């Protein structure tokens, strides 16, 4: 059976899926047609029901729960992994000085890595005053700040390891905000499978992704060339930092803590009317 599978070219995803798509584990006859796309493109694909299995932001998943089950394996979720809001400007220039509740100046232009990203959801929860947003590829945000095209940048992935060396400042760690606000881990992205796929195959895919993660943990250098190829210009040190930050025990199984964090994200998104009032995680 052939299935379409979408994930990003970022090191955490290529690390997770290397063994699965390169037959380093027994896939029991399953074959995968792989689509490498940035997370916001994958979010759009999910809205279009384009792929059988896909990585997507948890915020995006909240909008497609009727069509996709959430798999227990393959997630990017944890503590200390949240998106950062950064700037070229001195932090003192960015905050309202007369506001009783500390908030950022609402006219500031913010570069975001996608409307449906969990990063954008966390930003909306933490700073709803920021409405002037510009959607751009996540890897373009740092340059947009350096070129004064935007005032603030919402960064994800490997940019958290590179921004400081470029003279940019951290304004807010939205992961810390979320952890203090809820006491929960930060659910960034998960793996979903379309409900059109037979139940037996859904469960097999979930099992195989877990096995692929376990293989990667046991053989961390096995997919090095594949990972580096898709990481393009990324420094090897940054690649390792990226994998170590975003791939963890939650990537093998969400477990009780992981599911609780996703439930909290959906709850706060419903309270703020950012998702449908009937949207709840649909775990496989």
Q: Which residues are catalytic?
A: 157
- Tell whether residue 231 is among the known ligand binding residues: no
| 63 annotated to a ligand binding site | no
Kindly report each contact of residues 234-239 with a partner whose C-beta sits within 8 Å and lies 24 or more positions away, as own/partner: 234/11, 234/158, 238/158, 238/161, 238/162, 239/11, 239/158
* Listed residue (263, 262, 117) closest to 187, CA to CA: 262
The answer to whether the Cα torsion of 150, 154, 157, 159 is positive or negative is: positive
H helices of the chain, where? 11-21, 39-47, 58-61, 118-126, 141-146, 174-182, 199-218, 224-231, 236-246, 249-252, 255-271
- Whether residue 151 contacts residue 108, with contact meaning beta carbons closer than 8 Å, is answered with yes
* Residue at token pair 């935007």: 150
Q: Do residues 206 and 284 make contact, with C-beta atoms less than 8 angstroms apart?
A: yes
Does the annotation place 55 within a ligand binding site? yes
- 57 annotated ligand binder: yes
Distance CA 120, CA 83 (A): 9
> What span, in angstroms and rounded, lies between the C-alpha atoms of 162 and 143?
12
Residue 192 neighbours by CB distance under 10 Å = 28
Annotated ligand binding at 56? The verdict is yes
Residues flagged as binding site: 55-57, 118-119
Residues flagged as binding site for substrate: 55-57, 118-119
């Amino acid at each position: 059976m052939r299935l379409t599978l979408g994930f990003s070219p970022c090191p955490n995803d290529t690390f997770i899926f290397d063994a699965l798509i390169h037959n380093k584990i027994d896939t029991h006859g399953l074959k995968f047609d792989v689509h490498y796309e940035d997370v916001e493109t994958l979010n759009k694909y999910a809205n279009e029901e384009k792929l059988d299995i896909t990585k997507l932001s948890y915020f995006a998943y909240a909008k497609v729960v009727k069509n996709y089950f959430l798999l227990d394996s393959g997630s990017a979720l944890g503590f200390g992994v949240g998106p950062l809001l950064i700037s070229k400007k001195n932090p003192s220039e960015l905050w309202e000085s007369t506001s009783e509740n500390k908030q950022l100046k609402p006219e500031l232009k913010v570069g975001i890595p996608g409307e449906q990203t969990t990063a954008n959801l966390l930003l909306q929860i933490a700073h709803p005053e920021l409405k002037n947003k510009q959607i751009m590829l996540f890897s373009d945000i740092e340059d947009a700040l350096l070129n004064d095209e935007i005032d603030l940048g919402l960064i994800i992935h490997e940019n958290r390891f590179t921004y400081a060396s470029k003279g940019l400042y951290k304004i807010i760690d939205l992961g810390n905000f979320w952890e203090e606000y809820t006491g929960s881990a930060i659910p960034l992205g998960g793996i979903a499978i379309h409900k059109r796929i037979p139940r037996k195959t859904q469960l097999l895919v979930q099992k195989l992704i877990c096995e692929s993660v376990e293989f990667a943990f046991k053989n961390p250098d096995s997919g090095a060339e594949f990972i580096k190829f898709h990481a393009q210009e990324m420094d090897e040190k940054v690649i390792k930092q990226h994998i170590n930050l975003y791939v963890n025990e939650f990537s093998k199984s969400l477990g009780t803590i992981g599911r609780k964090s996703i439930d909290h994200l959906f709850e706060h998104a419903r309270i703020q009317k950012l998702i449908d009032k009937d949207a709840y995680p649909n775990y496989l």
